[in-house]
Amino acid sequence: MGLKHLSGFKTETMTTHFILVGLLGLCGLSLSLECTRKLIVNMDFAGKDIITLYSPDAEHCQHLCTQYSSCVFFTFLRPDWTRDNRHFYCYLKTSPSGQPTARTPLLGVTSGFSLKPCHPDPQPCLSQVYHHVNFPGANYRTLFTADYEECQRACTRDPACQFFTFVEHVFVPGTVRYKCYLKFSWAVPRIPIITRADRTISGFSHRIQSTQYFDAACDGKLFPNTNIPGHDIEVLFAASPEHCRTYCSAHPHCTYFSYMSYAFKCCLKNNPDQMVRRAVRGITSGLPARLCQLDNDWIKKTHVGIDFPYSDIRDFPTSSVEACQRNCTDDPNCQFYSYITDKISNPARRQRCYLKRVITMPAPSKVIKLANVVSGFSLKNCYYKVIF
Ligand SMILES: *[C@@H]1O[C@H](CO)[C@@H](O)[C@H](O)[C@H]1NC(C)=O
């Protein structure tokens, strides 16, 4: 893919990290923080299963483990797995020691470790394509292209496209030959749940969490005390109307949104024909902004009395919420955080900073075998790396 020159950079960061690990080791950190990239073929890792996701290969599964907050190692069931039909299953696992509780030789599986200790790229380049593999669902646009390369280029060019499936010229039925399906998955971090919690303050990393840059600045459009009833396509948790607008702007089908501040609910809506607005106190509606650089001030706001529970990558004491916020911004893997103030009764949690993240890499919700189709990912993150 012509990206080989990047490996030099990787080696350098690994060396730096090796020194860092050594220092941390001296400070008596118990959990293993060694950077282990190697994939172990035909070996099963036993541990506590956290979640099972789909992946087209072991490398992708390793990235999923890296981006999943509590995952430490994984086992992937390859397409040549013969015991049953569980192909492309990616088992994310953990254990108290950070090591598999057992390693058992097993044909058709590949295991490995999370890259969290390796200073992982938050937006890895996924240049592999997969023949006779389908990524079903998640379609938002289709077109006809001469070959899968053109389909992949269409995906790379389209801001919402994360992955694609292309139907080859020998596929049956013939009517869908050359069809290119562009597919969407969330590349902006979605906070799984937002709750009210006394003595807790939450906020976001100040790093801009997007690869897209536009010259034109814009303010966007919010309609305060306005509801737009009906036409919901997805309901998410958001901390503010501006946060909700980020979700709407990322979703290719979102025509407008309504945000209910009392429940932290962000309703993404689709109705390209009309927009009926009604005056309702406590609801803010608005329009997405896809082609301009939106004001990102909302990520700098801290939310007092609000908790972002779960998805912890690490936690430690800090003197203030400002320090916690800085630690989050300094860690490329931290997307959002919660801080417990000194007013809480449990001394173990007093003034503790919890750094958090969720999966933002392209992740098909399902991966299956299908003859004469080709699937793969957008190359947006590959170009980004070459340029910078
Ligand atoms: C948090 O950031 C401070 C500097 O602002 C640094 O000294 C400290 O080591 C960081 N803590 C952790 C656990 O990363």
**Reported confidence tier of residue 212, pLDDT bands at 50, 70, 90:** low
| Model confidence, pTM | 0.87
H-helix or E-strand containing 16?
Answer: helix 6-26
Rounded-to-integer distance, Cα 317 and Cα 340, Å: 9
Q: How far is the CA of 314 from the centre of ligand 1 (A)?
A: 12
At 209 the pLDDT is: 61
Answer yes or no: same fold for 3-118 and 130-186+363-382.
Answer: yes
Which of 315, 327, 328, 355 most suits a substitution to test ligand 1, by most atoms within 8 Å of the C-beta? Answer: 327
At 387 the pLDDT is: 38
Whether the link from the prior residue into 159 is cis, omega within 30° of 0, is no
Q: Residue ranges per domain, the chain?
A: 3-118, 130-186+363-382, 195-356
Q: Which residue has a Cα nearest atom 10 of ligand 1?
A: 327
Closest by CA position to 191, among listed 328, 359, 72, 54: 359
Q: Which residue has a Cα nearest atom 7 of ligand 1?
A: 327
Q: Chain centroid to CA 371: how far?
A: 29
Options 2.40.128.20, 3.50.4.10, 3.40.50.2000, 3.40.50.720; CATH for 195-356 is 3.50.4.10
At 305 the pLDDT is: 95
Predicted confidence (pLDDT) at residue 258 exceeds the cutoff of 80 = yes
Q: What is the CATH number of domain 130-186+363-382?
A: 3.50.4.10
Return the sign of the alpha-carbon dihedral for residues 314, 320, 321, 323: negative
CATH class of the structural domain 3-118: alpha beta
Average pLDDT over residues 95-111: 97
| CB proximity list for 149: less than 8 A, separation 6 or greater | none
What pLDDT, in 10s, does the model give residues 337-346?
Answer: 999 997 777 7
